[in-house]
Amino acid sequence: MQPACPVCGLDFSNSDTGDAGAVLLIMGLGAVIVIMAFWVEFHFSPPLWVHAVLWPIVTIPLAILIMRPMKAALVGAQFRRRPHEMGL
Ligand SMILES: [Zn+2]
């Protein structure tokens, strides 16, 4: 993470979102992927190896893509709801 916002200069050193981004991502994306896996299984009944190949290809890039916006949203939520924790 950058030390400060390049636009407004907000110091990120006091921002602590912990593992919330990863936890929310695991639960949210995990649920979506499981639902999609069931849908593919019931509609196409592919062999098991298709699932083993398909879902990592879908899941890993999505997790990497979503992690930064998720973290940014949590920093934004902390800025909006608990600015005193960020020294403001
Ligand atoms: Zn900013």
User: What does the pLDDT profile of the chain (88 residues) look like in tens digits?
Assistant: 788 889 988 888 888 888 998 999 999 999 999 999 999 999 999 999 999 999 999 999 999 999 999 999 999 999 999 888 888 7
Residue 43: domain span:
20-83
- Whether 60 is covered by a domain: the verdict is yes
Query: Of 8, 18, 27, nearest to 71 (Cα)?
Result: 18
Ligand 1 center to 4 CA (angstroms): 8
Ligand 1 center to 11 CA (angstroms): 9
- Whether 88 is covered by a domain: the verdict is no
The pLDDT value given to residue 16: 83
- Considering its fold, how many domains does the chain have in total? 1
- What is d(CA 19, CA 58) in angstroms, rounded to the nearest whole number? 22
Ligand 1 center to 76 CA (angstroms): 9
